[in-house]
Amino acid sequence: MSKKNNRSQKAEKVIERMGQKLNRQIAGSMLACVHCGMCTDSCHYVLANPGDPTYAPAYKADRARKLFKRHFDWTGRVFPKWVGADTVTTDQDLEELKDIVFGKCTNCRRCSINCPMGVDFATFNRMMRGLLVSVGVMPEGVAVVSKDQWEIGNQMGVLKEDYLETLEWMGEELQDELDDPTVKIPVDKMGADVVYSINPREVKYDPRSIADAAKIFHVAGENWTMPSEGWDMTNFGLFSGDDALGGSVAGRLYEKVTELRGKTLVISECGHGYRSTRCEGPNWAQHDVPYMMESSVATMLRYIKEGRINVDKTKNPEPVTFHDSCNNARSCGLFEEPRELLNLVCMEFREMYPNRSENYCCTGGGGAMSMSEYTPRRLKSAKIKADQLKATGAAAVVTSCHNCVDGLGDVIRHYELGMEVTQLVHLVANALVIEEKVQVAVEEEAAVAAVAAAEPAEVATRETVATEGIADEALPFAGRTVLVVDDEPDQVDFIATVLEDNGATVLRAADGEEALAKARSEKPDLLTLDLGMPGRDVGEVYETIRNDADLENLRVCIITGRPELRKLIYNRSVKKPEGYLDKPLDEEGLVLNVKKVLELT
Amino acid sequence: MALVYITRITWFLKRFKAGKERQAETGLPGTTKAKGIVYSWANVAMPWAMESTRKKPFFYAQFLIFHIGGVTAAIALSFIIPYAPGLLENSTLVLLLQVSIGLACLIGVMRIVRRVSNPYMRAISSPDDYFSLILLTVWFFFATLSVPNSTANGELHLLTYFILTAFFLVYVPFSKICHYLYYPFTRYYFGKSMGYRGVYPLRSESR
């Protein structure tokens, strides 16, 4: 019986749809490979897994190419074995293909620029992903994120009210910081010169980046706004290969900007978001975009060059290096603007090598951060990146991509590099020279914080806090009790110190059982919960807390360095946590997020 | 061969439509798709441009000898012998051709060894890959012997050389050897996109 007769329905559809998706660029890449092997050493997976040829770009490409040869090329149809043509027959074949196209490639395109023949493997790898997704064969994380982006409008499932509340909250923070009640984050302002779109990660995990951008826009005197809908400039269609999703997501944003009559769409620092919105979206959506689109990096640089903002680079004294993100750099040419900006706002900028178009992927690209089943493989392949970072000796790595922030964060933690990851918007905001009136308010706030930090650290009790009087009441968490649950003493010390400095009473627990016991006896206002602890299953602990009637007022904030463990909580059919934070933590982010969780905004 | 090539190109252009870029150009001012296309086409002559060729200068030199010293010279020989045999009375030219084609033959042997012994190469090689390389290497061998255009030691070398040349006319259009047919197209589209996006020409500061 022929393979065609035995072919599963899914395999049949993949082949049929392949014929519809092939364009000249992809067909050329399928035909032109001479198997010279020149692309081999360009791939970080190969370099980190020596001796395993299944990571070689040509090998990976051939898993898809063999289908093309078998079904669309003359020689492959007549003499399949001679030219390495083959087909897919079973669902298991598709699963094996899934492991290659999703699990062994981040579509970084480093092999494409090292191919003498101009074979663009990354592009047709994306096509293969799209074919598998169309028949429901994909990693679970891809399915979940795609679903969120289809149904809720952004890839992290952020509800509209949460988004708008976060903007309002950040606006209020900015008012306090600048001592200017007129400062706000405008939403849906008509006819603005700039419509600013962001990554939902900023709403969920890094709201400070929204405030920093708003500060820059305010100081620059920009006529700007943020959209209430269609605000997510990220696009999982780039990673999943789903052009329909890509077009739909990009289209929502374009239409909103058109509706607002915005003149320029400024895209916050996100690699795949910039590429999807600025470069690929118009093609997916078949939508000509009548206004300008630019990266916020270019916007900030322009402000400095035009004298709209002044910066003082001495405010960023630590040596930094820059990671060129695959999507906005190698695929969109954003090389020089970040460098120019870094040299203006930092005292010491150190290049990593190689860089620009030859930089190595952070290993978190291509949607890899959402595919937890490939995490061990990803982290192993990140050795190359870790070596690059270490060689710079920098205190921080700067990147213009939120995906890279997470990817590099994982690399730094895994390889214990002791570096921070930051973005240009934070550095620019930090370097801003602000008018005297506002500066005085900032200095007063810094003085208050210094006084609070100078007070001796103690394990406070609620009675102690209650009797200490007016000075403590001025602190944001005065009168609040927080139970910090983590098995790493350094983490607990850090969190406890920050919260105590801000007036909280902090209790500690090192495992789930102790956490439950103290929660029941002390009735804290907030529990911060690490997900990677030994002992009792953390998901079970969480569910127990939620099901305990005595703890119904207890708020929970998950703090974890392993985002893939969040499914321990997501999979429970109980109330979700009030907040999530990723490690490594920074003081400012921790305080802001705890304020949000405790509704102290 | 020409007929097959014309049919192949026609099929390629008609069956597969070119994707278009609708968005405005990215990249710094002065980066254009035209520059990207030219840069991309010239890639083969710029070993410093790609990390893969920059880090393997010896491999790149082999490529040059194999394609120019070998393929081009051996093809030229198939025209010189029947149509301009007088040229081969020049002993310097004969020596030059024999050395270049002979070196290409040696490189062919090295490439066969590489393809058989390197696990990465084995993993990506099909029977066509092996056969094409072996065929070319054997052809270079007989071409080297045929350059003097002499039958003093028999005609077998000349006969073999021309039979192989004729076989190539039939085999090449259906094998990987016809990759040069696609080179202009793949490099055109890749260069156009990368030029449009301001990635091409690549900057030297990357290293």
Residue A446 confidence (pLDDT) above 70: no
- Per-residue pLDDT at A533 exceeds 90: no
Q: Is the pLDDT of residue A193 over 80?
A: yes
Q: Which of residues 69-128 of B touch A (CB under 8 A)?
A: 118-128
> In chain A, which residues fall in CATH 3.40.50.2300?
455-597
> A588: pLDDT confidence band, cut at 50, 70 and 90?
confident
Work out the burial of residue A411: count CB atoms within 10 Å of its CB; fewer than 13 is exposed, 13-18 middle, 19 or more buried.
buried
Average pLDDT of chain A to the nearest whole number: 89
Q: Is the pLDDT of residue A258 over 60?
A: yes
The mean-pLDDT minimum among A76-80, A150-154, A395-399, B165-169 falls in A150-154
Distance from CA of B77 to the nearest CA of A (A): 25
Q: How remote is the C-alpha of A452 from its chain's centroid? A: 33
| Distance in angstroms (rounded) separating the CA atoms of residues A327 and A334 | 9
Is a pLDDT exceeding 80 seen at residue A557?
yes
The predicted model gives A456-463 an average pLDDT of 42
Amino acid at the residue A363: T
pLDDT of B207 over the 70 cut: no
Across the interface, of A27, A292, A358, the residue whose CB is closest to B206 is A358
**Residue A589 pLDDT grade (very low, low, confident, very high; cuts 50, 70, 90):** confident
* Cα distance from N-terminal residue to C-terminal residue, chain B: 43
pLDDT computed for residue A465 by the predictor:
39
Q: How far apart are CA B123 and CA B115, in angstroms?
A: 9
pTM of the model: 0.77
Please state, in angstroms and rounded to a whole number, the distance separating the CA atoms of residues A336 and B116.
Answer: 43
pLDDT beyond 90 at B25:
no
Lowest pLDDT segment from A171-185, A414-428, A451-465: A451-465
Task: Please tell me the CATH code under which domain B36-200 is placed.
Answer: 1.20.950
pLDDT at A456 > cutoff 70: no
With an 8 Å Cβ cutoff, are A53 and B191 in contact?
no
Specify the domain boundaries for CATH 1.10.1060 within chain A: 3-138
A40 in contact with chain B, both atoms CB, cutoff 8 A: yes
Window from A54-63, B14-23, B88-97 with minimum mean pLDDT: B14-23
Q: How far is A333 from chain B (nearest CA, A)?
A: 5
Residue A205, classed as helix, strand or coil, is coil
Asked which of A291-295, A449-453, A476-480 is least confident by mean pLDDT, the reply is: A449-453
- Compute the count of residue pairs across chains A and B with CB atoms less than 8 Å apart: 190
> Can you identify the CATH homologous superfamily of domain A455-597?
Response regulator (3.40.50.2300)
Q: What is the mean pLDDT of residues A12-17?
A: 94
Is residue A301 over pLDDT 80? Answer: yes
Phi-psi region at A585: left, alpha or beta (left = phi > 0; alpha = psi -120 to 50) = beta
Least-confidence region, from A426-435, A583-592, B37-46? A583-592
Q: Name the residue facing B20 among A41, A62, A283 (closest C-beta).
A: A283
Judging contacts by C-beta atoms under 8 Å, the chain B residues touching residue A288 are: 22
The stretch B135-149 carries a mean pLDDT of 95
* Max CA distance (Å), chain B: 68
Q: What is the mean pLDDT of residues B110-122?
A: 96
Beta bridge pairs of residue A196: A266
| Nearest-by-Cβ selection for B18 from A25, A281, A288 | A25
d(Cα A231, Cα A171) in Å, to the nearest integer?
A: 17
A3-138 CATH choice from 1.10.20, 1.10.1060, 1.20.140, 1.10.287: 1.10.1060
pLDDT digits (tens, 9 = 90+) for A141-188: 999 999 888 888 888 889 999 999 999 999 999 999 988 888 889 999
**What pLDDT does residue B204 have?**
66
Q: How far apart are CA B92 and CA B115, in angstroms?
A: 34
State mean pLDDT over A407-417.
95
State the sign of the Cα–Cα–Cα–Cα dihedral A84, A86, A92, A96.
positive
Report the residue of A126, A335, A340 to disrupt the B interface, i.e. the one with the largest count of B CBs within 10 Å.
Answer: A335
Searching chain A, which residue's CA lies closest to the CA of residue B54?
A114
How large is the average pLDDT for residues A491-513? 92
Closest CB from B23, B128, B179 relative to A117: B179
Residue numbers in A near B202 (CB within 8 A): 113, 356-358
Query: Range with the lowest mean pLDDT among A391-400, A460-469, B36-45, B82-91?
Result: A460-469
Closest Cα of chain B to A259: distance in Å?
19
What is the C-alpha separation between A66 and A128, in angstroms, rounded?
12
- pLDDT at position A414, please? 95
Give me the residue spans of the domains in chain B: 36-200
- pLDDT at residue A125, as a whole number: 95
Q: Which two tokens stand for residue B103?
A: 């070196």
* Model confidence pLDDT, tens digit, residues A95-121: 999 999 999 999 999 999 999 999 999
pLDDT at A444: 47
Is the Cβ pair A289, B23 closer than 8 Å? yes
Q: Quick one: CA dihedral A374, A378, A381, A383, positive or negative?
A: negative
> How far does A249 lie from chain B, in Å, by closest CA?
16
For residues A574-584, give the mean pLDDT: 80
A residues 390-409 closer than 8 Å to B (CB): none
> Of B13, B131, B206, which has the smallest distance from its Cβ to A356's Cβ?
B206
**What pLDDT band is residue A5 in, cutting at 50, 70 and 90?**
low
**Per-residue pLDDT for A438 more than 60?**
no
The DSSP letter of residue A401 is -
Please tell me the predicted confidence (pLDDT) of residue A539: 86
For residue A116, say if its preceding peptide bond is cis, omega within 30 degrees of 0.
no
pLDDT of residue A142: 93
**Residue A459: per-residue pLDDT:** 41
CA distance A328 to A359: 12
pLDDT at B3: 86
Q: State the pLDDT at residue B114.
A: 96
Whole-number pLDDT of residue A454: 52
The pLDDT of residue A152 is 84
pLDDT, averaged across chain B:
91
Question: What whole-number percentage of chain A has pLDDT above 70?
Answer: 91
SS3 letters across chain B: CHHHHHHHHHHHHHHCCCCCCCCCCCCCCCCCHHHHHHHHHHHHHCCCCCHHHHCCHHHHHHHHHHHHHHHHHHHHHHHHHHHCHHHHHCHHHHHHHHHHHHHHHHHHHHHHHHHHHCHHHHHHCCHHHHHHHHHHHHHHHHHHHHCCCCCCCCCHHHHHHHHHHHHHHHHHHHCHHHHHHHHHHHHHHHHHHHHHCCCCCCCHHHC
**Band of pLDDT at residue A566, cut at 50, 70 and 90:** low
Beta bridge partners, A266, equal: A196, A294
Nearest-Å Rg of the Cα atoms of chain A is 25
Residue A586 is predicted with a pLDDT of 83
